[in-house]
Each structure stands twice: as structure tokens, then as C-alpha cells.
Amino acid sequence: MKIGVFVCHCGSNIAGTVDVVRVAEAAKAMPEVAFASDTMYACSEPGQDGIIQAIKDKGLDGVVVASCTPRMHGPTFMRTVARAGLNPYMFEMANIREHVSWIGKDKEANTRKATDLVKMAVAKLAQNRPLFPSSFSINKRVMVIGGGVAGIQAALDCAEGGLEVLLVEKTTTIGGKMAKLDKTFPTVDCSSCILGPKMVDVAQHPNITLYANSEVEEVFGYVGNYQVEIRKKATYVDWKTCTGCGACMEKCPSKKSPDAFNEHVGRTTAINIPFPQAIPKKASIDRDSCTKFKTGKCGVCAKICPAKSIDYEQQDEMVTEDVGAIICATGYDLMDWTVYGEYGAGRYPDVITSLQYERLLSASGPTGGHIKRPSDGKEPKTVVFIQCVGSRDKSVGRPYCTGFCCMYTAKQAILTKDHIPDSESYVFYMDIRAPGKMYDEFTRRAMEEYGTQYVRGRVSMVYPKGDKMLVRGADTLAGTQVEVEADLVVLAVGAEGAKGSPQLAEKLRISYDSYGFFMEGHPKLKPVETNTAGVYLAGCSQGPKDIPSSVAQGSAAAAKVLGLFAKDQLQSDPQVSKVDIKRCVGCMKCAMTCPFGAIKELEHRGEIKAQVIETVCQGCGICTSTCRQGAIQLQNFTDNQILAEVNALLQSELEEA
């Protein structure tokens, strides 16, 4: 075999701490290496042309590039090699930048290490075989999980692009967190006036099928050909006939059911439509609050319903759908603020969350837009906002900045003054973070025009004093202690990944971080993709975002799907497992361990053998390390290839000894 080795300087990134010329010299001495050289920037156009030229001039049949991580430029060089007429899998990379030049300054040791890594790559490449992808067709339907503003935008953009869209929403209406907001910063737009029409568009778009009150149960398959099982949870109302007239809500005797849409500041009926603009505008029964379900006696809604839609016997329904791509827009939840015992959250009724306050401000909220404090319904004259409750706080495991709390606190302070002109607002803050367009101007307006008192410092304690809440904290600018007698305390609670996102991530085979946010493919260059082909992210499921960013990412995810579906055929990754039928004893241990169900039984001359379904195999190689016969081998990561690397390394040790 004639192997060519190209050692990259990467400017001074590698050449600064590795003697690249010596590495190339050493490579020349390796068996099967026919050509070796160093090159300034292997990934640049002249660098790639040099590789192509050498392949043609020297008749190379394999190439090793020693440069950066294969996670960065592996595909780049595979395309280069293919352009020169070689099979792209006759290529290996030695990572001498991230793993060598950038982590140590000792040039001697680095050069030795780089030489070893090249030697290992050459040894592996000597065992490589050309691999060929197969083509498969794709199902041009897309599933969007999550009907918040990011999911809505993604669904609408995909549908406008001509794709058939399934929008799966966990709750009984789409709209997400944005639908709960009264106004939005920094324009003080009415939230439902800008979101409402988009929600209606979703309901009316011929290309969108809406699965509300539904959850993704299982996901099988691979990019272009996913099968998803969706659980349509029982609402005990036949949504085909329900007209959303609301007569049932008026007559329902269980008027004290928890109201999740109003963040539990108000009460609702056991059968309800979450809010007047809900899409779909259909009623559903809260089983835990319904008298009929609890005692068997009642049935008022069934009697009153003009459309005869009530069905107490309704069961969850499973639906199986085929889609080609999935956009995940499951959003966020507020972190559990009750861990802040010193703020009395969860104990004192007049200490509420920002989202609860948002419902108090909203004209469609439980108080009709009049701010009334939960304990006695009085109008608060002094409102204290405490920022960074569950943001930038290592002690509760939330070290990150949620990013939008500064802004919504400023907005709520402004709205408070609008609602109650003789009120006073205090904001306890750490820093003001307002980097968006018109954002800093907005927070300044809250301070200057609306007279909100901004106090820099953390609150140490909140406790009741008479009918007031005493807020004790520090003013770190003045260097004094501050005490404020507040009528209402609003905690600006930070965001974390939506509940259940780890479980969903496992179903989708994507990664998530310790806060429940999904991991993007690359923090800078692949912000919408995941490491699983055909699964994309939008909105707060990827990290806390304000509305403009969520909408932008929703559109970006839709663009990715439209790009993916612009092809009629996709190529499968040929780096899959392959069974040597002569060695296979048909124990099927491989099939038992395969997480993807990619191995099936094959009857071969009266014996059971394993067979890999190439398009389903994801190339993890769990089967390969399970097979005691060594009969099933992951292509490009065979036992021989890995052991060749080990041997090449230990060989040099043996020579030194």
C-alpha cells in the first residue's frame, strides 16, 4: 500500500510547539508510507490541491493528514481524497493540534507524541478498506415537538415551504410560555396580539396537523425515515364535535381546580378551556379535580353540552406516524424556586414568581388585569423584584445567566407603574444584562422615566411583618444594609430545561446538559443541529432565549429541514457493522445489545445467522465488542484496525527499550 502523510503547520498553531518537519521525516521511514511532507494549511485550497496532486503524482492509495481534530475537518479531507479519485474511507487523521500542540509547550515531547499519533494513523489506514454508501429515499414530513413560539414558527415555515408538518404539543393548547405573557419587552407589545394570529395560522394551515394534549412516546428509525409513536392523551371530550362554546365551564360545579395556565394564582373549573384564545379551542376535563371521576356523581357537563361531546370513558390513543425529520422545541420551565427558603417562596402567599405576576398583569388573567396580591386581594403599593433567583447561583446548581430576567423585570416594573401610578418598585439586581436591540434603553427607561429603584445587591431574607413583607438586603454600591417594606415580592426565577427533556433526549438519542437543555452539534457552527442526523433544535430547549431569538432559531431549524428535504435520496453512512457469515454462530447476542434493532436473524443453509440492516445501523460497534467470535465487525473500526493502532504505539516503545 502506498500511503501519503501530510503534516500541517496550521500556521503557528502546530508548528509553534511541534517540529513538523521532523514528524514528516519520521513518517517517511514508516512502512507503507510512500510520500510525506509538511504543509502550511492543509485545509486551505492550496493545501487540499497539494494533497490531490500528490495522490495523482505518486499513485497514493491512502492518505493521513496530521492536523486538527477529525471532528472538525475529517469530512473536509474525506471530500478532498474523493476528489482525487480515492475512496473517502482510505483516509485517516492524526490529531496533533487539540491533543498535542495546544496542550503542552515541550517541543521535544510534542514532536515525539505527534510522531506516535501519525504512526498509529498510518497503521490503522493500512487496514482500511474502501466503503460505499447506499442510497435511501426520504419521507418529506416533519414533526415539530413543542407548540411554543419557536415550535409555531418552525412549523409555519416548514408548512410554507410545502412540507407536511405534525405539531405535537404536550398541553391542551399551543402558545407555550409566550401565551402566558401580558406584554413583551422592549416594545411593550401585547403578547397575545402578536402570537394569536400565528396560533390561528397553525390551526388553519392545510399542511399542519396539530396534536395537542399529546406526547411523543417512542421514536424509531433514522434520518429521513423516523417512525414516531404519539400518545394522544384522553381529554374526556370528543374534540371532533366540541365547538368550544364554554357552556360546560359555566355550569361545572368544581370551580376550585388548579389552574395551570394561570400558574396556580387563580382557580378554574374541572372542565375547562385554558384561555379564550386557546388553539385548539376545545374543552378538556382535569381528571384529578372532576367530581364525576372522584365520586361518580355529577355529570353536569355531559347534560349541558349542546354538542354531546363529553365522553367519560375516553382512553389514551396511540398514533404512529412516519416523518423524515424532527424539530425539538420543548422550551423551558422555571427552576424550583422553593429551594430559596430565605425568600419564603412557597410559604408566603405574597412572594410570587415572575410568571405568576405576569398572569396578574394580564387582562385575560385571573384578576382581569388588576394587580391584587394573593393574600388579601389588596392592591400593592410597594413591589420588590428580586433578580437572579436561580440564575448565576452556583449554590443551587444554576451557574448560568438565564439572560431574559433583567429584561422582563424591567418590563414588569414599568407595567406596575402603568397599572398603579402611585406605586413604588424596587429591583434588587447583581448586574443588568441587556444586550439586545433597544434593550439597554428599555431598562434605563424603567429607571429614569418610571422611577424604578434599582438596588445592586442580593436579598438575604424576606419575612412577614404585619400584613407586609420585609425585604432585607444589601446595597453594595452604597455599602449599606437596606430594608424595604413590600406589599408584594416578585422573584425573577431563572429557566432550566423543560421537565421530561432528559427522557425525550434519550428517545431522540441526542445529548443534554446537566440543566436539561439539549446540546447543539457545535456551540458555534451548528447551533440548530444535533449530533443525531435529522433532529434539530429550536427555542429554549437548547438554552434560555428571548422571543426574537426563539423565533429566529425556529426559522433556522425549518431552513435546515427544508435543506435536508431538498434531496430526494440520502446516502447512508457506510461505517456500519458487517457480519462474517462463516464465523457467525447465530447466538444473536449482537441483536440483544443493539440499541437500534438493526440486527435481524437470517436463515442461511438451515442455520441462524445475524444480518445487519445497513440503513438502521448507526455505527456504534456495541455488537462488535459483544461478539465473542469476532464475527460482526464495525467497518472502519474493526478489531484489527484498533489493535493495529495499539501495536504501532507499543512497537515504538519496544524499539526504544
Partner 1 sequence: MDKELRIVGFLCNWCSYGGADTAGVGRFTQPTDLRIIRMPCSGRIDPLFVLKTLIGGADGVLVSGCHPRDCHYAEGNYYARRRLEVLKRFLPIIGIDQGRFEYTWVSASEGQRWQHVVTTFTNQIHALGPIQRIGKDAQARACAFGRTLEVDVSA
Q: Are 60 and 41 in contact (CB under 8 A)?
A: no
What letter represents residue 510's amino acid?
A: I
Of the candidate spans 365-373, 398-406, 422-430, 634-642, the one that interacts with partner 1 by CB under 8 A turns out to be 634-642
Is 615 near partner 1 (CB under 8 A)?
no
Pick from 509, 526, 589, 604 the residue near partner 1 by CB under 8 A: 509
Got the DSSP string for 79-92? HHHHHTTS-TTSEE
Q: For residues 301 and 308, give the distance between their C-alpha atoms in angstroms, rounded to a whole number.
A: 9
Measured in degrees and rounded to the nearest 5, phi and psi for residue 194 equal: -95, -25
Is 639 near partner 1 (CB under 8 A)?
yes
Q: For residues 347 and 349, give the distance between their C-alpha atoms in angstroms, rounded to a whole number.
A: 6
Pick from 37, 76, 207, 593 the residue near partner 1 by CB under 8 A: 593
If residue 536 lies in a helix (H) or strand (E), which one and from where to where?
strand 535-537
Contact string (CB under 8 A) for partner 1, positions 475-504, x = contact = ---------------------------x--
Measured in degrees and rounded to the nearest 5, phi and psi for residue 74 equal: -50, -55
Report how many residues bind partner 1 under the rule CB under 8 A: 59
Q: Are 5 and 36 in contact (CB under 8 A)?
A: yes
Contacts with partner 1 in 216-275 (CB under 8 A)?
Answer: none
Pick from 87, 364, 375, 647 the residue near partner 1 by CB under 8 A: 647
- Grid cell, residue 235, equals 381529554
Rounded CA Rg of the chain: 31
**Residue with Cβ nearer partner 1 (106 or 449):** 106
Is 103 near partner 1 (CB under 8 A)?
yes
Of the candidate spans 99-107, 425-433, 447-455, 547-555, the one that interacts with partner 1 by CB under 8 A turns out to be 99-107
Is 650 near partner 1 (CB under 8 A)?
yes
Pick from 105, 256, 294, 303 the residue near partner 1 by CB under 8 A: 105
Q: Are 281 and 388 in contact (CB under 8 A)?
A: no
- Grid cell, residue 371, equals 394587580
The C-alpha cell 396556580 sits at 264
Of the candidate spans 26-34, 116-124, 192-200, 331-339, the one that interacts with partner 1 by CB under 8 A turns out to be 116-124
Is 38 near partner 1 (CB under 8 A)?
no
Instruction: Name every residue whose Cβ is closer than 8 Å to that of residue 206 and which is 6 or more positions away in sequence.
Output: none
Contact string (CB under 8 A) for partner 1, positions 517-546, x = contact = --x---x-------xx--------------
Pick from 511, 552, 559, 581 the residue near partner 1 by CB under 8 A: 511
Closest alpha carbon to 218 in 319, 314, 290? 319
Pick from 49, 106, 418, 603 the residue near partner 1 by CB under 8 A: 106
Is 75 near partner 1 (CB under 8 A)?
no
Is 613 near partner 1 (CB under 8 A)?
no
Q: For residues 436 and 446, give the distance between their C-alpha atoms in angstroms, rounded to a whole number.
A: 16
If residue 357 lies in a helix (H) or strand (E), which one and from where to where?
helix 354-361
**Residue with Cβ nearer partner 1 (241 or 626):** 626
Phi-psi map region of 390: left, alpha, beta (phi>0 left; psi -120 to 50 alpha) = left
**Residue with Cβ nearer partner 1 (363 or 646):** 646
**How do 332-334 and 495-497 pair as beta strands?**
antiparallel
Please, what is the angle between helix 70-83 and helix 45-58, to 10°? 50
Q: For residues 297 and 303, give the distance between their C-alpha atoms in angstroms, rounded to a whole number.
A: 13
Pick from 429, 512, 536, 565 the residue near partner 1 by CB under 8 A: 512
Pick from 23, 51, 60, 117 the residue near partner 1 by CB under 8 A: 117
Pick from 422, 448, 568, 653 the residue near partner 1 by CB under 8 A: 653
Q: Point out which residues bind partner 1 (CB under 8 A).
A: 69-72, 95, 97-100, 102-106, 109-110, 112-113, 116-117, 120, 502, 505-506, 509, 511-513, 519, 523, 531-532, 575, 593, 595-596, 618-622, 624-626, 630, 634, 637, 639-640, 642-643, 645-647, 649-650, 653-654, 657
